[in-house]
């Protein structure tokens, strides 16, 4: 038998019994895997929902934890323009007004992202060790305790420490939810369930905007303590539900627990669905393919072979969410005030922004279902660049109330483009582009790229927007426009099409050293698995 045939046989058959406890029951692995692939491609949205209703339900329940990250992200940044918060932690500026020092704006803006970075790294290790279910439950218990710190804070230093610790938990949530969704969903539902993760993040922001607007005229300390206390609601709701959640069958396969993986698959599908064994066979074969590429599953392996390109894609598309709205997006209420809007009107604009997020995320489901990931991202980068250039030019003129509203409207135009394109699609790409064995770690690296960009933005923003520092105000948009153009250039040469591909097909396509623009029309069906393994 030839070397290529040996490798093909090695991939198409289950490894030794010590790796997979029921190896003897899987004699038709290759045939079952092929049938599962054909079944995946034949599924329509409605058929997939009927076959996998529990997968939809459990993915959506796990995604609820992302609401907390969206809530806090909007909360802290927008508290900077909140009168009672400024009075508590800021310094008098005359005429009864208060302002936080730029250095503390920077510190508070960095607290959660810095905690996120550590939490995300830990998630890549904890999730692969304990599984998604135990990881998310343990993190929720941890968060319930550390929320007491920011709630009872009386100094800005204690508030910073509390936000830093809470960021650890939110780092776990933001990477665990998309990973779980990508592993329990069939190809036909992947984009929809990943988009729901984005929707949950938007719901968190919208709730935060509503809470802040409802309390903006309150003058006592409860005006900012109540928004912090509301964060205890989520663990109370989610923990009892997650106690009954099934573990990811992909994780169980990677651990060699095939019987439990099949049981989990049955819990994720309807009683009438008879393809659980075939689905597990595809998972086993995909895992074998990836083991042929690299024996390890550590963070270091994310930068070996073809995985380095896949890691690059995840990191850049997620970081681009920050860079394309650089220094403005996370400080929208503060930006509106610096553009000349009154505090109450600024919060009305942010509430409207939350509504736009919700509506556009729903509409993006139809966009991602109709168009490819690559085209959506490239159009998004181009559109956002144009919107930010216009906003910047408006800020160059002598400022009036009308021009202030003009800048605010252009930012909302940018926001619509973002929520229809890069906002949801980046989550989908990150969830599906990595190899399954490295998924938790690859998503963790990608999210940390997002957080590094966020730290950069949070460091620069106060010095560009703040009237006591750079005082660029709306002219900061030129920086965002420039970053959008760079992302557009990168995307054209480096972002491949991944829509409607199984994870096995993506493994095969990446192994062929194709150019990014060649992925869309390339066929994975004709590729010989032995050819895939030769270079490894």
96-111: pLDDT as tens digits: 677 787 788 878 878 8
Q: Are residues 227 and 308 in the same domain?
A: no
Token pair of 296 as six digits: 């390890």
Which tens digit of pLDDT belongs to each residue from 205-219? 888 878 887 887 777
Asked if 189 and 306 sit in the same domain, the reply is no
Query: How far apart, in whole angstroms, are the C-alpha atoms of residue 244 and residue 234?
Result: 17
For residues 372-377, average pLDDT? 96
213/301 same-domain check: no
Residue 408 domain flag: yes
pLDDT over 80 at 36, yes or no: no
**Could you tell me which residue, 232 or 216, shows the higher pLDDT?**
232
Q: Note whether residue 284 is domain-resident.
A: no
**Which pLDDT value is given to residue 469?**
61
Q: Which residues of 227-243 are buried (b: 16+ CB within 10 A; e: fewer)?
A: bbeebeebbeebeeebe
- To which residue do tokens 């483009």 refer? 417
Tell me, letter by letter, the H, E, C secondary structure of 50-83.
HHCHHHHHHHHHHHCCHHHHHHHHHHHHHHCCCH
**CA-to-CA distance for 317 and 295, rounded, in angstroms?**
27
pLDDT of 2 = 41
Are 317 and 241 found together in one domain?
no
Q: Which of 206, 222, 245 finishes a domain?
A: 245
pLDDT at 16 (0 to 100)? 37
**CA atoms 208, 109, 68, 443: torsion sign:** positive
- The verdict on 419 and 356 lying in the same domain is yes
Q: Is residue 33 one of the residues assigned to a domain?
A: no
Q: Give the CA count within 13 Å in the CB-facing half-sphere of 385.
A: 15
Count of CB atoms within 10 A of residue 326's CB? 24
Task: Tell whether 224 and 324 lie within a shared domain.
Answer: no
Question: Are 491 and 342 found together in one domain?
Answer: yes
Question: What DSSP element (H or E) covers 91?
Answer: strand 91-94
Q: Is the pLDDT of residue 414 over 90?
A: yes
Considering its fold, how many domains does the chain have in total?
2
Same domain, 451 and 359: yes
Residue 355 counted as domain residue: yes
Res 467: pLDDT:
67
| Residue 201 domain flag | yes
Q: What is the mean pLDDT of residues 273-296?
A: 74
> When comparing pLDDT for 296 and 340, which is higher?
340
Structural domain that includes position 182: 40-245
Same-domain check for residues 444 and 356 = yes
Q: Could you say which of 215, 245, 275 is where a domain stops?
A: 245
Write down the number of H helices and E strands in the chain: 26, 2
CA atoms of 328 and 464, how far apart (whole Å):
10
Give the whole-angstrom CA distance, residue 275 versus residue 16. 24
Most confident of 14-23, 274-283, 338-347, 493-502: 493-502
Q: Work out the average pLDDT over 267-276.
A: 76
Exposure on the CB side of residue 25, measured as CA atoms within 13 A: 11
For residue 322, being part of any structural domain is answered with yes
Distance, CA of 231 to CA of 215 (rounded, Å): 16
24-33, 101-110, 198-207: lowest mean pLDDT where?
24-33
Most confident of 19-23, 26-30, 159-163, 327-331: 159-163
Last residue of a domain, one of 245, 278, 312: 245
- Please indicate, yes or no, whether residues 206 and 326 belong to a single structural domain of this protein: no
Provide the angle, in degrees to the nearest 10, between the axes of the packed helices 343-370 and 422-433.
Answer: 50
DSSP line for 121-161? HHHHHHHHHH-HHHHHHHHHHHHHHHTHHHHT--SHHHHHH
Query: Phi, psi at residue 340, to the nearest 5°?
Result: 115, 5
Same domain? 414 vs 501? yes
Q: What is the CATH number of the domain that holds 193?
A: 1.20.1250.20
**pLDDT score recorded for residue 35:** 66
Instruction: Please tell me which residue, 195 or 464, carries the higher pLDDT value.
Output: 195
Cβ burial of 154 (10 Å; 0-12, 13-18, 19+) is: exposed
Domain contains 418: yes
Q: What is the pLDDT of residue 5?
A: 42
Burial class (CB in 10 A: 0-12, 13-18, 19+), 385: buried
231 in a structural domain? yes
On the question of pLDDT at 67 being above 60, the answer is yes
Say whether both 313 and 217 belong to one domain: no
- DSSP output for 439-486: HHHHHHHHHHHHHHHHHHHHHHHHHHH-TTTT--GGGGHHHHHHHHHH
């Amino acid at each position: 038998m030839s070397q290529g045939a040996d490798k093909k046989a090695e991939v198409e058959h289950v490894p030794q019994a010590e790796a997979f406890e029921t190896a003897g029951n899987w004699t038709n692995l290759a045939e079952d895997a092929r049938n599962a692939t054909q079944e995946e491609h034949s599924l329509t949205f409605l058929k997939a929902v009927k076959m996998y209703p529990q997968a939809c339900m459990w993915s959506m329940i796990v995604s609820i934890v992302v609401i907390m990250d969206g809530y806090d992200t909007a909360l802290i940044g927008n508290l900077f323009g909140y009168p009672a918060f400024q009075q508590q932690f800021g310094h008098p500026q005359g005429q009864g007004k208060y302002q936080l020092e730029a250095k503390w704006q920077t510190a508070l803006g960095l607290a959660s992202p810095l905690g996120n970075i550590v939490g995300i790294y830990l998630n890549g290790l904890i999730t692969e060790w304990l599984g998604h279910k135990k990881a998310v439950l343990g993190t929720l218990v941890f968060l319930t305790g550390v929320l007491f710190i920011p709630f009872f804070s009386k100094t800005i230093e204690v508030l910073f420490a509390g936000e830093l610790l809470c960021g650890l938990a939110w780092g776990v949530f933001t990477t665990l939810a998309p990973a779980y969704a990508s592993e329990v969903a069939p190809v036909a539902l992947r984009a929809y369930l990943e988009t729901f993760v984005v929707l949950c993040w938007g719901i968190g922001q919208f709730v935060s905007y509503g809470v802040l607007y409802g309390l903006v005229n309150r003058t006592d300390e409860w005006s900012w303590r109540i928004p912090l206390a509301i964060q205890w609601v989520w663990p109370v709701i989610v923990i009892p539900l997650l106690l009954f959640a099934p573990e990811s069958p992909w994780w169980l396969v990677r651990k060699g627990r095939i019987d439990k993986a099949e049981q989990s698959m049955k819990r994720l599908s309807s009683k009438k669905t008879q393809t659980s064994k075939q689905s597990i066979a595809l998972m086993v074969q995909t895992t074998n393919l990836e083991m042929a590429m690299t024996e390890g599953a550590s963070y270091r392996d994310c930068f070996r072979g073809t995985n380095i390109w896949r890691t690059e894609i995840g990191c850049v598309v997620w970081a681009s969410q920050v860079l394309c709205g650089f220094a403005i997006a996370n400080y929208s209420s503060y930006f509106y005030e610096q553009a000349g809007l009154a505090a109450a009107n600024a919060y009305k604009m942010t509430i409207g922004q939350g509504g736009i997020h919700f509506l556009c995320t729903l509409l993006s489901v139809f966009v991602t279902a109709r168009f490819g990931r690559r085209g959506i991202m490239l159009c998004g980068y181009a559109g956002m660049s144009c919107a930010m250039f216009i906003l910047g030019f408006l800020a160059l003129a002598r400022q009036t109330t009308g021009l202030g509203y003009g800048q605010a409207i252009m930012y909302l135009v940018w926001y619509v483009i973002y929520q229809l394109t890069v906002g949801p699609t980046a989550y989908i790409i990150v969830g599906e582009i990595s190899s399954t064995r490295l998924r938790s770690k690859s998503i963790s690296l990608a999210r940390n790229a997002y957080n590094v960009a966020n730290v950069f933005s949070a460091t620069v923003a106060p010095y560009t927007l703040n009237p006591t520092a750079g005082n660029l105000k709306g002219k900061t948009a030129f920086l965002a426009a420039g970053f959008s153009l760079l992302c557009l250039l990168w995307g054209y040469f480096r972002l491949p099409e991944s829509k409607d591909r199984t994870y096995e097909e993506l493994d095969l396509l990446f192994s062929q050293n194709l150019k990014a623009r060649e992925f869309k029309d390339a066929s994975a069906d004709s590729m010989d698995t032995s050819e895939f393994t030769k270079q490894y």
